[in-house]
Amino acid sequence: MGGIRKFIENAGWPRIIIGLFLFSLFIIAPFVRVRIDASVSDTLVRFGMNGVMVLAMVPMIVSGCGLNFGLPLGIIAGLLGAVTSIEIGIPGIPGVLIAMAISLPIAVVLGWGYGLLLNRVKGSEMMIATYVGFSSVAFMCIMWLVLPYKSSNMVWGYAGKGLRTTIAVEGFWHQAISDIGSFSIGQFFYVPTGMFLFFALLCGFMWVFMRTRTGTAMTTVGSNPEYARASGVNIDRMRTLSVILSTVLGAIGIIVYQQSFGFVQLYMGPFYMAFPAVSAILIGGASVHRASILNVIIGTFLFQGILTMTPSVINSMIQTDMSEVIRIIVSNGMILYALTRTVKVKP
C-alpha cells in the first residue's frame, strides 16, 4: 500500500489519470473496430517524430527562461536546412545530415539573437517568446517566396519561383533516419527504430550536458540567478547558451519530424508547432522552471498517445469524421489543463 502511494506521489496524479485514460482508449479500441496494432504503431511513430522538439524545451526551462514558445524560430532554421538540402538534391542519410549541417549555424545565430532579446525582458520571457515565434513565421512567409530556390520539386509550377506550402521529401530522404534498423510486424505494425535511437542519442547528450559544469551552472541560474552570480556564473551568457541550445534542438527536431512525416510544411506550418511541444513537457511533469529528460519521454508519449487515440476511437464510436475537430479540442484542452497545473509553482 505504501509502495502504491509512493508511486502516485512520484508520478503525480495528472500523469496517472492521463495514463489510465490512454490505457482505457487502447482497451476500447478493438470494440469499436480500431486496429490496436496500427494504433500502437501510430503512437510510436508520433512519439519519435515529436520527441526532439519536446526535448528542445528542456534547456530554456532549466535556465529560467521559461517554456520555449519561440520554438518556431528553431523550426525555421530546420526548414531552411531542409529546403536547401532538397535543392542540393542528395538523397538518403547524407541528405538529412546536410539538412542538419546547414540548419545548425542558422539556428545558432538565430538563437543567439533570440537569447539576447530574452535577456532584456527578464520576467516576461514566455510572452515575448510567443511573439518572437509568431513574427518570425510571418517574416518567413515573405522569405519563402523571395528566396532563390530553383528545384522543380519545390517551387510553384505556374510561376517557376517561390516555394510551395508543402514540399514532399519522397525521393530524397523520406524516413531516412526512421528506417535504420526498422521493422514491421504484419501489415500495420511498424517500428521506426532509427528515429528512436536518434532521439535516445540526443537525450543522452542532454543528460550528460546537464551534468557538466556548464549544465550545472545553467540549472543554478534557473533556480536562483543571484546565487549563481555570487558563485561567479555569468547569468546572461548561460541564458543565451540555453536559448541557442533550445533553438538548435528545435531545428534538428523539425528535420526528424519531416523525414518521418514525408513533407516539409512551410509558411504557416511552424505557427502552432510550439504548443504541442509545450503541452507535452508540461504533461510529462515539468514545471515552468524545472524539467528533466524523464518528463520529456513520459510527456511526449502520453500527449502523442492521446492525440493519436482519441480521434480514431471517438470517430469510430460516433460514426462521423470529425477527427480534426476532436484533435484540436484534445490538444488545446491539454495545454490549458497543463498550464493551469503549473500556475501554482510560478514564483
Residue among 135, 184, 224, 320 that touches another protein (CB under 8 A) = 224
Residue among 50, 220, 246, 295 that touches another protein (CB under 8 A) = 220
Size of the site for another protein (CB under 8 A): 17
Smallest gap from residue 221 Cβ to another protein (A) = 10
Q: Which stretch binds another protein (CB under 8 A): 20-28, 70-78, 215-223, 334-342?
A: 215-223
Smallest gap from residue 345 Cβ to another protein (A) = 10
- Our finding on whether 216 is near another protein (CB under 8 A) is yes
Residue among 217, 266, 298, 307 that touches another protein (CB under 8 A) = 217
- Our finding on whether 123 is near another protein (CB under 8 A) is no
Q: Which stretch binds another protein (CB under 8 A): 28-36, 129-137, 168-176, 218-226?
A: 218-226
Residue 313: partners with Cβ closer than 8 Å, 6 or more residues away = 25, 28, 29, 32, 34
- Our finding on whether 294 is near another protein (CB under 8 A) is no
- Our finding on whether 165 is near another protein (CB under 8 A) is no
- Our finding on whether 6 is near another protein (CB under 8 A) is no
Contact present, 106 and 80 (Cβ < 8 Å): yes
CB-wise, 135 or 224, nearer to another protein?
A: 224
Where are the strands (E) in 107-185, listed by range?
Answer: 166-168, 183-185
Residue among 56, 195, 233, 302 that touches another protein (CB under 8 A) = 233
Residue of 288, 344, 345, 279 lying closest to 62 (CA atoms): 288
- Our finding on whether 232 is near another protein (CB under 8 A) is yes
Cα-Cα end-to-end distance for the chain = 34
Q: Which stretch binds another protein (CB under 8 A): 75-83, 119-127, 179-187, 213-221?
A: 213-221
- Our finding on whether 342 is near another protein (CB under 8 A) is no
Q: Which long-range contacts (CB under 8 A, 24 or more apart) does 93-101 make?
A: 93/173, 93/176, 93/177, 93/180, 95/172, 95/173, 95/176, 96/173, 96/176, 96/177, 96/255, 96/259, 99/173, 99/255, 100/251, 100/252, 100/255
Q: Which long-range contacts (CB under 8 A, 24 or more apart) does 96-103 make?
A: 96/173, 96/176, 96/177, 96/255, 96/259, 99/173, 99/255, 100/251, 100/252, 100/255, 103/77, 103/78, 103/79, 103/251, 103/252, 103/255
Q: Hunting for cell 500502437 — which residue is that?
A: 40
- Our finding on whether 223 is near another protein (CB under 8 A) is yes
CB-wise, 2 or 232, nearer to another protein?
A: 232
Question: What's the rounded Cα separation, in Å, for the pair 193 and 1?
Answer: 37
Residues in contact with another protein by CB under 8 A are 208, 211-213, 216-217, 220, 223-224, 226-227, 229-233, 290
